[in-house]
Amino acid sequence: MGGDSQRPLSAFGRSQLAALAARRQRELAAVSEWLVSPYLRTQQSYAELADPALPHRLCEALTPNASPAAAIAAIEAAAAPRLAAGQPATVAAVTHMPLVGELIEQLCGERIGVPTAALTLIRFEIFGPQLGTLVWSDSR
């Protein structure tokens, strides 16, 4: 990996994430599983949003040009242990454009513009493509 994968988060990006973390503190505290793209800036984004000591997994399926199907499978796999134990699962996927827009569309059927440093909450009764409900998004 080189080039784009090693591009750091900008100072502006850090300030956007600080505002996001303050605005969405309650939602971020409820995350049970963190999946993070292996790109440097998403790892830095994760560190701005959560305690970096919390368990998280680097996930190749969350890189900018990854397949939405692979990303969905990774999210489902991250949620599976908690769901199998009868516990709720809240998975945060720290990823990039264009993948994040494609994921939202694949999971809930809505096409929305997603700015940098934004969160979107999609709720599922049963997890799978087109089965989610877009609850809210910082892009709206």
CA proximity to 103, closest of 86, 88, 118: 118
Within 13 Å of residue 130, how many CA atoms lie on the same side as its CB? 0
Q: What is the pTM of this model?
A: 0.92
Per-residue model confidence as pLDDT tens digits over 24-62: 999 999 999 999 999 999 999 999 999 888 889 999 999
Q: What is the DSSP string of 33-58?
A: EEEE-SSHHHHHHHHHHS-TTS--EE
Q: What is the pLDDT of residues 86-132, one digit of tens each?
A: 999 999 999 999 999 999 999 999 999 998 899 999 999 999 999 99
pLDDT digits (tens, 9 = 90+) for 66-76: 999 999 999 99
Q: What are phi and psi of 15, to 5 degrees?
A: -70, -35
Residue with tokens 């990854």: 66
Domain map (residue ranges) of the chain: 3-137
**CATH fold group of domain 3-137:** Rossmann fold (3.40.50)
Q: Are 9 and 20 in contact (CB under 8 A)?
A: no
Q: Nearest CA to 39 among 69, 56, 64, 68? A: 64
Query: What angle in degrees, to the nearest 10, is found between the helix axes of 99-108 and 68-84?
Result: 60
